[in-house]
Amino acid sequence: MKKSFAVMFLCFLVAGLLHAEVLLDQTFDDASGKMSPGKLLKRVNLVTVEPGPAAMGGTPAAHFLDSSAEETGILEYNLEKAGAFLISFDVLNNTPAAEDGFRLIFGMGKDDQSKSVKLGSAANRAFSLEIDQLASKGLSVRIGKESAFKGSYDGASVQQVKIWVNDNDTAKLSYIRPDTKAAAQLNPDSVVVWINDKLVADESDSGVAMQTVVSVGDAVLARLGFVSQSKGTADFWIDNLHVESVSP
């Protein structure tokens, strides 16, 4: 009986995820050249849609190329608010040996419909995943300016990223681990990052608390995307950006 109940419970969790609402499904297949703001895409700069590299299948992808000392790369969306999110995307370092590079930053912040840059500052990000241009420097999950976890990655390979975000101050979020398919629980007001179906370094599957000044309150987050800084080159390919709302 216990085994049957466990199987039924796991099926229930999977079914809940399968019925999640899709908030964004950006494969870039229906675009080319310079991107322009729209209903969901609020701010974009130094990003073009081009045929992607063979490692990503050769289909159209977003080429995030910030080599400017005056401007910064930006790809920011504002979606519907939700109690929790599942975010996934593929990213590939285009010049993994570049020693003059900085990093690509993926972050999430408060709901904001404005067309100005919102995720450029760590103070506005509930969390960030930061991938160094020089692949040997690795990547990190940051909360504000502090590094919560630092890991390594293969600069020649596509990184498949999955991020669960629990934007609820009291309830835990049930989800299925990508590696073992076992049930896990993400703590309230927390985030967990999986890359290629692995946790980052010694990260726990229960996640790490987000930056409270940004994430306090239920269902306040909605702004997300990629940014860079003018400190050095950020040259990456991005594809299959998919965001779903999930229920705590």
Q: pLDDT tens-digit profile of 195-242?
A: 999 999 999 999 999 999 999 999 999 999 999 986 789 999 999 999
Q: What is the pLDDT of residue 15?
A: 43
C-beta atoms surrounding 22 within 10 Å = 10
Average confidence (pLDDT) over 157-183 = 98
Average confidence (pLDDT) over 31-37 = 88
Residue 74 has pLDDT above 70, yes or no: yes
- Do 46 and 73 meet the contact criterion of CB atoms below 8 Å apart? yes
What pTM value is reported for the model?
0.91
pLDDT range class, residue 44, cuts 50, 70, 90? very high
pLDDT digits (tens, 9 = 90+) for 109-153: 999 999 999 999 999 999 999 999 999 999 999 999 999 999 999
Q: What is the pLDDT of residue 231?
A: 74
Q: What is the pLDDT of residue 5?
A: 42
- Do 196 and 160 meet the contact criterion of CB atoms below 8 Å apart? yes
d(CA 207, CA 196): 17
Pairing type for strands 41-45 and 74-78 reads antiparallel
pLDDT range class, residue 8, cuts 50, 70, 90? very low
pLDDT digits (tens, 9 = 90+) for 96-112: 999 888 999 999 999 99
Query: 226 φ, ψ to 5°?
Result: -115, 140
C-beta atoms surrounding 105 within 10 Å = 22
pLDDT range class, residue 3, cuts 50, 70, 90? very low
Average pLDDT, the chain: 92
Residue 30: C-alpha distances to residues 26, 171, 222 (Å)? 9, 38, 24
Residue 169 has pLDDT above 90, yes or no: yes
Cα torsion 91, 95, 101, 104 to 10°: value is -10
Domain spans of the chain, in order of start:
2-245
C-beta atoms surrounding 163 within 10 Å = 22
Q: What is the pLDDT of residue 16?
A: 47
d(CA 229, CA 86): 26
Residue 244 has pLDDT above 50, yes or no: yes
CATH number of 2-245: 2.60.120.560
pLDDT range class, residue 68, cuts 50, 70, 90? confident
Q: What is the pLDDT of residue 20?
A: 79
Query: 217 φ, ψ to 5°?
Result: 100, 160
- Do 209 and 189 meet the contact criterion of CB atoms below 8 Å apart? yes
Q: What is the pLDDT of residue 64?
A: 97
Residue 13 has pLDDT above 90, yes or no: no
